[in-house]
Structure 1
Amino acid sequence: MENEIMKNEDLFVKITSLIEESRHHIATAVNTAMVITYFEIGRYIVQDEQKGSNRAEYGKSVLKELSSKLTERFEKGWSVENLQNIRNFYLAYSQKYETVFHKSSDSDLVNSVYEIQNPFELSWSHYLILMRIQNIDERNFYEIECKNQNWSVRQLSRQVNSSLYERLALSRNKDEVMALSQKGHIVEKPSDIIKNPLTLEFLGLKEEASYSESKLENAIISKMQDFLLEMGKGFLFEARQKRFTFDEEHFYVDLVFYNRLLRCYVLIDLKIDKLTHQDLGQMQMYVNYFDRYVKQDFENPTIGILLCKEKKDTLVELTLPKDSNIYAQEYSLYLPDKKLLQQKVKEWIAEFEDAAK
């Protein structure tokens, strides 16, 4: 009797898994068809618009009439606002993806839409965010990362609002900035995990409020999923207040992570005030201990990160050896000024291009 129950349960699990997988594929196929169709509709709208002499009047009258007829025929989803979004979607991606689509007659449009190699791998909600990014390099970066990291719409929105692209660009060698829009965020060496600054607005701590390092740590622990998203690729959380002992004295590392891409431990110490040389020396000791007594032979050297409110680059450079695996990284409790960061990146790229001439 028990074996019979187990067999029935196994059959149920198999069928359930098959149905769920099938629904996922159906949903993906429906979304793909919708995005491709929107791209083609956008192309028709733009082509028709270009034939007119007054584009402002086109938007007011033609789209309004088109919306009314489509809504009458297909009901929801064809408001003037949505048609404008569809038009803008085509304009944003036409240069990049137009050549992927077959040139077809109107009568063959439906067949051509489903025969092409689909370049759109994200949902329409994702593209509503992406198409509003004016800088093409920045938009390409977020599109690549969204596909590779399987970001939800909420996660994508948060990364764009927190200026992830600009913060990564400003933390990198000028030679690496251009690669962000072509390859996304590649993690190959310790410095690749550094952002400038680390943005922790999701913790809900007020910039002007008084808080302790333990309160900051507790806030991070309670929002660990968001913190891991902000830290970036490959991070796994291992422990808080990790204790180790030598010479009959106990020491505690605030947060211990492991990065599977770099294959190494990442130690984080939290500092709510200005960074001191004593803080740097303490982290050097932590890193040395992990390298000598914790890490395995196949693992790479431990990385130490001092997450601080304020740092002086000169102090860091004078205190640490050049080959140190320790980084002082500032954090912010509010979203950065995106326009200011964009201007800084623009200046960096201009310097890069001038030097290449």
Structure 2
Amino acid sequence: MKNNGLTLLPQGYDDLLKDLKARVHKARMSAVLAANAELIALYLDIGKAILERRDAEGWGTKIIERLGNDLRLAFPDIKGFSPRNFRYMRQLAQICTDTPILQQVVAKLPWGHTITLIEKLKADNERLWYGLQAIEHGWSRSILQIQIETQLHARQIDAIKVSNFKDRLPELQSDMAQEVLKDPYIFDFLSVGDEAHEREVERELVKHITEFLLELGSGFSYVGKQVHLEVAGEDFYIDLLFYHLKLRCYVVIELKAGAFKPEYAGKLNFYCSAVDDLLRHESDNPTIGLILCKKKNGLLAEYALRDMAKPLAVSDYALTRSVPEDLKTSLPTVEEIERELQNGAD
């Protein structure tokens, strides 16, 4: 169809093009995932064969090295037949024999991620947990290493978390909110000293917002710092305000440089009520409040939250650990995050 030299597209063309693009993208991703699964299956087969020969015939390191050299000569276009990689294949075969479900997980991860799980972790249940998290959140290898080094599993699974979520939220949202919560939060990337005041920590967190978002976890979007609220003619300012995309709610964060005090809960409860009335959309879930303090007494915090009307939690934060230098190369810039937030707002 033409009109004055221009091709007129039939009705529905744009929808068809969009659909076909999605199918091509899906097919390409499926091909990549299938190729990766085949590679992992090959490495597992090699690892199992090495284990069998070692146990049955006492094959040692020199024989295994010779096997790798011969395979490299036979298949010069295929990487991965180094003695070091053979050791990882053997370890992976042993791990998957002991914990078969791990085979399904590593089949969905790049080989480098699997090596990290083998090298950095000793317990198979932790390897399984981090592997599943890496798949769900699309972590790069360097991000996976950071999460392991900062003991994310212990902070999200094993920590005693203080909140009133179960009493103040529906069961599904309560479980999700509790899963999102960490204790403690590790702000390794800050340049402030251990005795920094709240405003210093706040300024540094906003300055390093990409790393802060990484530590908060998947789903957090930054709204602002010192967010102004006017209630009954008086001005109030929230330290940090976020929106959580999965929980579909605002998250108010108050920073405290010292130990937790019961009166902090009342102030945070007030802020959550104000956000619910002034900012919350009718489709949003109830606002959640989080107090981040340098130290908390669990029983004191539990008592303070028990009769509060809003869903609140208390966690510690620490400033003293270190994060690998390659963090910067694996995260988006502040400008990129701001553009994403702006696009979402549009």
TM tier relative to shorter chain: 0.7 to 0.9
Please state if 1:83 is matched with 2:80: no
- State the shift of 1:135 in Å: 1.3
Q: Indicate the residue corresponding to 1:42 in structure 2.
A: 47
41-50 or 295-304: bigger deviation = 295-304
Separation in 1, partners of 2:56, 2:262: 67
Separation in 2, partners of 1:289, 1:118: 44
Separation in 2, partners of 1:99, 1:296: 42
Q: Indicate the residue corresponding to 2:317 in structure 1.
A: 331
- Do the aligned partners of residues 238 and 64 (structure 1) sit closer, same or farther apart at CA in structure 2, a change above 3 Å counting? same
Separation in 2, partners of 1:298, 1:19: 34
Q: Indicate the residue corresponding to 1:254 in structure 2.
A: 239
One-letter amino acid of the structure 2 residue matched with residue 165 of structure 1: H
The secondary structure found in structure 2 opposite 1:262 is coil
Q: Indicate the residue corresponding to 2:151 in structure 1.
A: 163
- 1:44-193 correspondence to structure 2 within 5 Å: 44-53=49-58, 58-75=59-76, 76-97=79-100, 120-132=107-119, 133-171=121-159, 188-193=175-180
Separation in 1, partners of 2:41, 2:67: 19
**Over residues 263-321 of structure 1, what are the superposed CA-to-partner deviations in whole Å (9 max), with x where a residue is unaligned?**
32110012222233343332122112123333244433221111111222343234333
- State the shift of 1:154 in Å: 1.6
38-47 or 326-335: bigger deviation = 326-335
Separation in 2, partners of 1:59, 1:332: 47
- Do the aligned partners of residues 40 and 290 (structure 1) sit closer, same or farther apart at CA in structure 2, a change above 3 Å counting? same
- State the shift of 1:142 in Å: 1.2
**Over residues 89-128 of structure 1, what are the superposed CA-to-partner deviations in whole Å (9 max), with x where a residue is unaligned?**
111112444998xxxxxxxxxxxxxxxx997111111111
Separation in 2, partners of 1:311, 1:297: 34
Please state if 1:313 is matched with 2:298: yes
Q: Indicate the residue corresponding to 1:196 in structure 2.
A: 183
The answer as to whether partners of 2:37 and 2:107 remain within 8 angstroms in 1 is yes
Separation in 1, partners of 2:281, 2:105: 44
- Do the aligned partners of residues 147 and 2 (structure 1) sit closer, same or farther apart at CA in structure 2, a change above 3 Å counting? farther
- State the shift of 1:187 in Å: 6.8
One-letter amino acid of the structure 2 residue matched with residue 31 of structure 1: N
- State the shift of 1:31 in Å: 2.2
Separation in 1, partners of 2:209, 2:72: 44
One-letter amino acid of the structure 2 residue matched with residue 36 of structure 1: A
Corresponding pairs, count: 300
- State the shift of 1:222 in Å: 3.2
Q: Indicate the residue corresponding to 1:103 in structure 2.
A: none
The answer as to whether partners of 1:268 and 1:305 remain within 8 angstroms in 2 is yes
Identity of aligned residues (%): 25
One-letter amino acid of the structure 1 residue matched with residue 64 of structure 2: L
Please state if 1:288 is matched with 2:278: no
The answer as to whether partners of 2:192 and 2:201 remain within 8 angstroms in 1 is no
- State the shift of 1:230 in Å: 2.1
- Do the aligned partners of residues 77 and 300 (structure 1) sit closer, same or farther apart at CA in structure 2, a change above 3 Å counting? closer
291-300 or 72-81: bigger deviation = 291-300
- State the shift of 1:24 in Å: 4.5
272-281 or 63-72: bigger deviation = 272-281
The answer as to whether partners of 1:217 and 1:254 remain within 8 angstroms in 2 is yes
- Do the aligned partners of residues 89 and 99 (structure 1) sit closer, same or farther apart at CA in structure 2, a change above 3 Å counting? closer
Separation in 2, partners of 1:236, 1:45: 48
CA RMSD of aligned residues (A): 3.4
Query: Which consecutive unaligned segments of at least 5 residues does structure 2 have?
Result: 162-172, 323-346
One-letter amino acid of the structure 2 residue matched with residue 63 of structure 1: I
The secondary structure found in structure 2 opposite 1:160 is helix
Separation in 1, partners of 2:95, 2:48: 11
The secondary structure found in structure 2 opposite 1:121 is coil
One-letter amino acid of the structure 2 residue matched with residue 163 of structure 1: Q
